[in-house]
Structure 1
C-alpha cells in the first residue's frame, strides 16, 4: 500500500540469500529502505556484485530461531521476505516471525497453494509466491511472434497488452491522433515510438495530438468483453423435480429414450440387455413354478431355489446320485435350462465388464495428437514451469509440442503432442526446422544453453527463449546470444516479492520493452499516499496506468476508469506499474506539474457556468478558484497540471463551448 505513517521504521528483513534473496535485497534497496538479512552460513561468494554494501545488518544463523530473528531486528521491521529454497523452513520461519511481531507483513516463497490459503487465513497480512512459476507467462509471451506482449484475466474479462507496428495500410495510419485511439472505454495507449527513435521506457511519454504515421509503433492495453461463462441451470425444488418427472413420463418420451439408448449401445451391451430381460423372466417363472408345484414351501424358499439355479447352483440341488425329492420331468428340465441360461448370462456380464475396463484403459492411454508440421512452438522441459507455460500457450491456441525425458502423468496436458526420451535427441522429432519458437525451461541452465545452441543451429530464424537462474550466467548468455531471449527467473520474481513486501497485491507480471511490468492491486486506506487523489494525479504523477476502479460500496468495477475519479478509503484500484512507479507511490514523490491552461472566452453565461464545473472536475482545483477564473476571462488557471491532464481539460472545455489553450509553466 502507499506510505504508512503508523510504521515507525522502514526496515525490511530478507531470510535466505540465494539468488532470489539477493535480487530481493537489490530491489528493496532501490526503494531507499533499510534492509537486514539472515543467511544460514557465512559466504563470501555473491552473485550480485557489491551485495554486502546493500545489507544494513547481516545475521548468520537459522531464520527459524527466535533469537536469530531478534538479532536481525524483527520487532522493528515492516515486512519479512522468507525466500530460502526449503519450503518447510520458510513456513516455520513465518510462524516464528508472526509470534515475535504480530503486525509484520509476511512474504514467503511457497508452492503449496492449499496450505498458503490456510496460512493466509490464520497468520494474516500474509502472501506467498512460487518464484519459479511467477515468470511462466513471460516465457509464454516471449515465444509468440504475435503482437501480444502481456495478458491476464481481471473480473472475468481478458486484458491484453498489445504492441502494434503501424504500416501504410493500417486503419490508424494518417487518420488518427493518439488521443483518439485512447478515447475508447476499453483501450488505453501506453507507449508511442516514432520510426528510428528509441522506445520510451515510461508510460505517458507520448503527445496526445501526435498524428499516427507509418513506421510508428503503438503499445496499448485493452479489455475485451466478458468471457463466456458456462451457464448454470436453476436448481429445482423437490416439488418441481417430481412434477417434471411425472410430466415427462409419457409413453412417447419413454419410447424415444429407449430408441436412443438402443441406437447408442454397442453390440455387447445390446446382448446384455436382451439377456438380462430373458434371465429376469426365467427367474420369476422358476420362483412361480416351484411355489405352485410345492405349495408347502414359503415364497422365500421358492425365490431361493430359483436364485440358486440362476447363478449356476444346479449341483447344490440335484448333484447327488439320487434326487432328494420328487420333481416332475418338465420342472427338472426347466431347472437345467435355468442353470444353463444363468451361466451364459454371467459370461455375457463378464464380457461387458471387460469391454468397459479395456475402454477405460484405452481412454487413459489415448494417443496424443501428432507433432505439428510447421509454425509451432517447441517447449523443452515440462516441470512445474514448463507445464504452466504449456497451459498458457494452449489457452492462446498456439500449435505446440512438448519434450520431456520421462512421460507425463495420465491426463496431464493430454491434448499436447509429446516427445518422450533423451532431450538432446528429441530435436530431430519435433520438426525443429519449421518451428517458429523454441522455449527451453529445464531445471539445468547449462543444459538449457546447450539445447538452445543446437536448436538455433537447426533453425536460425526461430525465436529462442532460455530459462536461467544465475544472474552472471544470464548476463553472459544474453551478451553472447543477442538473438535469444534470456529470462532469469529470480530476477523476474524478485520485483513481485519486493512489491508485495510493501503491502501491494501483485496480480501478475510480464515483460514490456525489456523491463518488468507489474499488475498491482491497491486497497485504499486512510493513511495511503493515494487517498483523496484524482486518478489523473496517480496516472501522470506516479507513472501508473489505472485499468480498473471499484468504489468501496461494491459497485460494478469500471475498466479504464476516468481520470476525474477521486479515490476514497475502501476503494479498489488495479494499475500497471513498473518498479520505479511503485517506488514513487511508496515514497509519496510525484512528477512535477509543468503546464497551465489559459481560458480565452465562453460563448454564453451558461457555458461559463458549465466551464467552471469542468475545470474543477478535471483539474481537481477548488470550485471557488474555477468560478473566479470564469468570471474574469480571459485568464490563466493558476493551478499547474500534467500535460495529458491539461490536454483533456482543453478538450472538455471545448465541448462546453469554452475556448482554451495549454501554456507552459516552466
Structure 2
C-alpha cells in the first residue's frame, strides 16, 4: 500500500491546488487535477491528528492513487494533509496563501462556508470553488466573496473575478444526465446563452441511408454497443470504447457504429401565462367530487322550483316565498294546519327535500376535510398509471433528478424508505406519487407499478440496494429500461456484463455523480467557464466558453485548423461585443432581469480566422481541454484502459 505523504516534510509550492473533503467527489477531483491537468494538489482530509495519519486518510490516499491510474496518467500523487478541524490554521498549513485555487467539497454546507470566508481573508486573489446544495445561498455567497476580494485588493479588475468564486452542486451537475439516461426521446443537454444543446445517440445508418450529422458528430459509440459481452453501458469499454470528437474521415470509416451528434433545441415560445382569474373562485373542483356537486345542484334546483310553486299558489312576494320554503326545508316552520291543501303539500315536499339535504351536507363536510388532510400527505400512484419512470431514492441527487423530470413533463413515481427524506416536501408540492417503504421488501416496487413503468432510476447511495432493486424490477418486467448509480468501476462493469447477457433486449446503464460532476469542479478551479458535461458511455465531453486571446492553438487559425480530432472542436462564436457579453453563458440570459439577444453563431465557416478578441464555445475531452488551457503541455495521452473514466457516487 502506498505510504501517506508526511505533511511536516511536504511544503506546498506557489500555484498549487487545494481540495478539502473526504468523500468520493474529493478523491475524484484530486485525481482529475493531478492526472488530467498535471496540477500540484494538496488534499486536506479530516482526522484526529495533523501528524499521525489515520487508516481512513490512508485509504483515501490509496483511492486517489487508484483513480489516477485509471485515468492513464503518470502524474505525482497529491500531498495529503490531515487536520481535525478545517479552520484558518489548517488552511495556512495547506498553503492557501500561495495557492491558485481552493475547492471546498465537504458534504456539510456550513463547513464549506466557514472555510471559504477564512480563505478569502487569507488570499483575496484565490479562486474559490464551493460545493453547496442551497442554490440561493450559493448565489449570495458568490456575490459576497467577490465583493470582499475587490475591497481587499484596491484597483483589482472586476472582470478578473468572473470565475474567482464559483458555487456548484454535484447533484445539480449530474441531474440532467441521470434524468436523460432513463427517458426515451430526451438526451443529454447543456445550455449556452439560453440555447439548449442536445447530444443525441443515433443507431448506425442502414444501407442507402444518409445519416444526419446535426451541428457536428461528437463521438462514435463503442463497437460493443450491440454485443452482450461488451461493457459500453458501464462506460468501461476498454480498447473498443467510444471515439470522442472524430474527424470526417473517421466518421465515414466507422460503418456500423452508432454516433452521438449535437443538435440545437429551438424554443418556439414560452409557456402561456396563467389566467389572471385562475384560482380566485371557490375551489369546488378540488374540494368536492363531481357526484357530490351534481347532488348539490339538484337540491338547489329543487328548492328554487318549490319557491316558484309557492309564489304561484300563494301569491306571496318571491323573497317571502323563498324564505318560507327554506324554513320548511330546515323543519323550523310551524305546521301548515288550517292552510290550503297546496300549501300543506309544499310543506311536505320541502321537508322531504330537507331530509335529502342532510346526508349531502354531511358528505360535503367529510370530503372537504379529506381534501385538506390529503393535501398534506403523500399522493399514492393512481390506478392504471403506465409509461412512467420509477425513481428510487429522494436524497440530494434524487431530489434534483425529480425536479428535472418534472420540468420535462415526465410522469414519475418515487420510492423512498425514509418519510423525512430531503425530496419528500418537493414531491408533496409537485403532487408526485410516492411509495414509502424499503425497496428490498416484496410488494414495494409493485406498489409503484413497476410492471407498467417505462424505466427505473435507482439513485440511492448504496450500490447493493440499487442492484437489488434493478434485479427485482427486471424479474417483474424483463424489458424494463434501468439506470443505476454505482461507484466502483469494476463492480459497474461486472454488473453491466451480467445484466446485458441476461437481458440482451433491455437497456442497462450505470451512472454516478462524482465522476459526472468532478470535471465541472476541476474546470472551475482551472479558471474557465464550463457550460456543462455530457457523458458518452462512461467518458465525458466538456463544453466550455473560452476567450481566444492567449491560446496559440486557436488564435490566428481558421475554424478547420483549430480542430484537433480527439481533443477539442470549436462549435460556436460569440458575436456580441466584449463589453456586452454575458459573463456566464451557462446561465439564462434574463437571469438579471434584462433581456439580451443570443449572440452565438453555430453555423461557422471552416475558413473563418479566429481573432484574439473572439470568444468561442468548444467541445473538448478532459485531456484535450487540459492541454489547451493547462499551465504546461501534457504528454501524449494513452488510450484509456478498461476502467478509464470510472464514476463514483
The TM-score, its normalising length taken from structure 1, stands at 0.60
Per-residue deviation at 1:468? 3.2
Secondary structure in 1 matching 2:103: strand
Asked if the contact 1:57/1:72 (under 8 Å) is kept, the reply is no
Secondary structure in 1 matching 2:190: strand
Secondary structure in 2 matching 1:393: helix
Residue 226 in structure 1 maps to residue 267 in structure 2: yes
Q: How does 1:84-123 map to 2 (within 5 A)?
A: 84-123=106-145
Per-residue deviation at 1:570? 5.6
Residue 48 in structure 1 maps to residue 66 in structure 2: no
Residue 417 in structure 1 maps to residue 451 in structure 2: no
- For 1:134 and 1:371, locate their aligned partners in 2 and report how far apart those are by CA, in whole Å: 34
- In structure 2, relative to structure 1, the CA distance for the partners of 1:564 and 1:363 (3 Å cut) is farther
Q: How does 1:28-427 map to 2 (within 5 A)?
A: 28-30=33-35, 31-41=37-47, 42=53, 43-46=57-60, 48=63, 50=65, 54-61=76-83, 64-124=86-146, 125-146=164-185, 148-168=186-206, 173-174=207-208, 176=210, 181-182=212-213, 187-192=215-220, 198=240, 200-207=242-249, 210=252, 215-230=256-271, 370=382, 374-405=386-417, 408-409=424-425, 412=428, 414-424=430-440, 425=442, 426-427=444-445
Per-residue deviation at 1:12? 0.9
Per-residue deviation at 1:105? 0.8
> Which of 509, 517, 523 is matched with 1:493 structurally?
517
Gaps of 5+ in 1: 1-7, 234-262, 275-350, 593-666
Asked if the contact 1:376/1:437 (under 8 Å) is kept, the reply is yes
What does the per-residue CA deviation read over 1:526-546, in whole Å, with 9 as the maximum and x for residues that have no partner? 578655554434433673243
In structure 2, the partner of 1:12 is: 17
- For 1:374 and 1:358, locate their aligned partners in 2 and report how far apart those are by CA, in whole Å: 27
- In structure 2, relative to structure 1, the CA distance for the partners of 1:267 and 1:193 (3 Å cut) is closer
Residue 573 in structure 1 maps to residue 616 in structure 2: yes
Secondary structure in 2 matching 1:189: strand
Aligned length: 472
Asked if the contact 2:65/2:77 (under 8 Å) is kept, the reply is no
What does the per-residue CA deviation read over 1:221-241, in whole Å, with 9 as the maximum and x for residues that have no partner? 1102224214679xxxxxxxx
Per-residue deviation at 1:508? 2.4
- In structure 2, relative to structure 1, the CA distance for the partners of 1:395 and 1:113 (3 Å cut) is closer
- For 2:32 and 2:524, locate their aligned partners in 1 and report how far apart those are by CA, in whole Å: 12
Secondary structure in 1 matching 2:430: coil
Asked if the contact 1:65/1:96 (under 8 Å) is kept, the reply is yes
Out of 480-489 and 451-460, give the one that drifted further. Answer: 480-489
- For 2:209 and 2:493, locate their aligned partners in 1 and report how far apart those are by CA, in whole Å: 43
Residue 465 in structure 1 maps to residue 483 in structure 2: yes
- In structure 2, relative to structure 1, the CA distance for the partners of 1:90 and 1:269 (3 Å cut) is farther
- For 1:9 and 1:412, locate their aligned partners in 2 and report how far apart those are by CA, in whole Å: 50
Per-residue deviation at 1:27? 0.8
- For 1:389 and 1:267, locate their aligned partners in 2 and report how far apart those are by CA, in whole Å: 44
In structure 1, the partner of 2:469 is: 451
The TM-score, its normalising length taken from structure 2, stands at 0.62
Asked if the contact 1:20/1:494 (under 8 Å) is kept, the reply is yes
What does the per-residue CA deviation read over 1:412-451, in whole Å, with 9 as the maximum and x for residues that have no partner? 4635433233323312223334444221112333322332
Per-residue deviation at 1:106? 0.6
Asked if the contact 1:63/1:69 (under 8 Å) is kept, the reply is no
- For 2:87 and 2:45, locate their aligned partners in 1 and report how far apart those are by CA, in whole Å: 12
In structure 2, the partner of 1:583 is: 626
In structure 2, the partner of 1:650 is: none
- In structure 2, relative to structure 1, the CA distance for the partners of 1:174 and 1:589 (3 Å cut) is farther
Asked if the contact 1:548/1:560 (under 8 Å) is kept, the reply is yes
Out of 454-463 and 526-535, give the one that drifted further. Answer: 526-535
Out of 539-548 and 188-197, give the one that drifted further. Answer: 188-197
